[in-house]
Amino acid sequence: MSLPTLAACGGTDSGASGAKPGPEVITFRSFVKASDAVTAAFNKTHKDFQVKWENVPSGGDYYTKLASSVKAGNVPDVAIVEYNQLPDVVSQGELEDLTETAGPVVAKDFPPQVQQLVNLGGKTWGIPRDVAPLVFFYRKDFFDKHKLKPAKTWDDYTRLLEEVKKADPKARGGIFATADAGVVAALSWQGGGRWYGTEGQSWKVAIDDEPSKKVAAYWNDLVLKSLVGTYNSTSDDAFFQAVQKGEVVSYICANWCAGALQSTVPDQKGKWAIAAVPSLDGRPASAMLGGSAFTVPKGAKHPEQAFEFIKWITTDPEGMKAWLSSGTSSMLPAAPALLPATTAFKTDFYGGQDIFSVVSKAYESVPAGWTWGPSAGVTGTTISDSLGKVASGETKLADVLTSAQQATVADFKNRGLSVAQ
């Protein structure tokens, strides 16, 4: 997708004077699970240069630190950037332009729905690592006992939630995340919403478009009827305590939840399974909740080695096995050709189910056309700050989307970006 110009970022100066030949040590900044394992695997099989992993916390502070590193001229050679944050990072001039090196790789190895997340303004800014399609996690033992089945449509899902509550008044078949705007975005994406787009050389912002408002009304109704539990997120301690107690017997999340679930409630081994997420008409349709790419920060001292490392950990089967064999990462490779590498992730927790078959089909059903804008952080914060009020009934989710629309447009204009009306 061709987007309006984000920033006047120059390319990397790979021929800088004073560069020393021979082995080098490059730095790799990442917060995703198994980064240590993949670094060790690379160092074991590559001798021309070595990689030092820098562990950092995720969240907004990570991007603040990246921006500070660029300004101070003390950047890592490789840095992870989530898809929803990439346009903002690019617009701030914090990344090297990888069009010449990574561009052909992205065009060759990745499908359109992920290419558009790293190709911005006619340039390529990173290589995708993973994709995170929505899927449905459920307690198969509970469902079998009460003769329940995963829902095909959202209408069916409402009925399923009612049946779960009837079977066990303390149990819920879904959750509403009160501190995670990413879930709202993913559900809007799946429902046909398109929050960001372009019109000529201007941005279009449509966070409260009609498809998104329909999704919001649906979930608002589930909350008010107490058909879903309310927790900060699927990474929240309270959520996992509810899972442990059997108070959450199914929920919607991305594939990365598979690793988190089995590592947090290991005593429920063999009780969980995964299915496709419900859709409006029952036909396959998913969307992404998360996912990330690897980039080269502006001013990196070893751009050529950085690209070689990034290419290995995103497109080489051995690199992908290193991610998955640790057992902590249930990522789905963004490059479809690497799907066989997912056998490195053991699925005993899911009764031996071929969960990646379900996940990969979900990825195939993600509709193209969604992109993120440079104010995704403002959008997300505005939504997340109000989700608790939706849960308490103080406000409606559709009104939250309208507030996010207004805040996002205002931020675009404050940045000097043209917004189509």
Each residue of 183-208: pLDDT tens digit? Answer: 999 999 999 999 999 888 899 999 99
* Percentage of residues in the chain having pLDDT higher than 70: 94
Q: Per the domain annotation, does 88 fall within a domain?
A: yes
Q: Per the domain annotation, does 181 fall within a domain?
A: yes
Q: Flag whether pLDDT at 221 surpasses 70.
A: yes
Calpha distance 55→51 (Å, rounded): 13
81: CATH: 3.40.190.10
The H or E element that residue 237 is part of is helix 237-244
Residues 64 and 106 in one domain: yes
Q: Flag whether pLDDT at 131 surpasses 90.
A: yes
Number of C-beta neighbours around residue 67 at 10 A: 16
Residues 80 and 140 in one domain: no
Residues 114 and 243 in one domain: no
The H or E element that residue 38 is part of is helix 35-45
Q: What dihedral do alpha carbons 388, 393, 395, 399 form, nearest 10°?
A: 90
What is the mean predicted confidence (pLDDT) over 218-245? 97
Residues 83 and 221 in one domain: no
Residues 153 and 252 in one domain: yes
Lowest mean pLDDT among 15-24, 189-198, 328-337, 387-396: 15-24
Question: What is the tens place of the pLDDT at every residue in 93-126?
Answer: 999 999 999 999 999 999 988 998 999 989 999 9
Q: Per the domain annotation, does 13 fall within a domain?
A: no
Residues 35 and 117 in one domain: yes
pLDDT at residue number 387: 98
Residues 310 and 190 in one domain: no
pLDDT at residue number 327: 65
Q: Per the domain annotation, does 353 fall within a domain?
A: no
pLDDT at residue number 13: 40
Question: What is the tens place of the pLDDT at every residue in 239-293?
Answer: 999 999 999 999 999 999 998 999 999 999 999 999 999 999 999 999 999 999 9
Residues 302 and 381 in one domain: no
Residues 377 and 279 in one domain: yes
More confident residue, 254 or 7: 254
What is the mean predicted confidence (pLDDT) over 139-168? 98
Residues 281 and 168 in one domain: yes
Bridge partners (DSSP) of residue 292 are 82
Q: Flag whether pLDDT at 18 surpasses 50.
A: no
Number of domains the chain contains: 2
Q: Per the domain annotation, does 360 fall within a domain?
A: no
Half-sphere exposure of 146 (CA within 13 A, CB side): 20
Q: Single out the residue in 313, 334, 355 at which a domain terminates.
A: 334
pLDDT at residue number 6: 56
Where in 255-344 does DSSP place strands (E)? 272-275, 292-295, 332-333
Q: Flag whether pLDDT at 17 surpasses 80.
A: no
Residues 101 and 232 in one domain: no
Measuring CA to CA, how many Å separate 106 from each of 77, 182, 315, 366? 19, 25, 10, 18
Q: Single out the residue in 334, 355, 388 at which a domain terminates.
A: 334
Q: Single out the residue in 276, 311, 334 at which a domain terminates.
A: 334
pLDDT at residue number 16: 37
Q: Flag whether pLDDT at 65 surpasses 90.
A: yes
Provide the residue range defining the domain that includes 324.
25-131+290-334
Q: Per the domain annotation, does 6 fall within a domain?
A: no
Q: Per the domain annotation, does 354 fall within a domain?
A: no
Calpha distance 139→116 (Å, rounded): 35
pLDDT at residue number 367: 87
Q: Determine the longest span between alpha carbons in the chain, in angstroms.
A: 72
Q: Per the domain annotation, does 359 fall within a domain?
A: no
Question: What is the tens place of the pLDDT at every residue in 372-411?
Answer: 999 998 999 999 999 999 999 999 999 999 999 999 999 9
pLDDT confidence tier of residue 328, bands split at 50, 70 and 90: low
pLDDT confidence tier of residue 135, bands split at 50, 70 and 90: very high
Residues 49 and 127 in one domain: yes
Q: Flag whether pLDDT at 330 surpasses 90.
A: no
Outline where 345-396 has alpha helix (H).
355-364, 376-392
Q: Flag whether pLDDT at 11 surpasses 70.
A: no
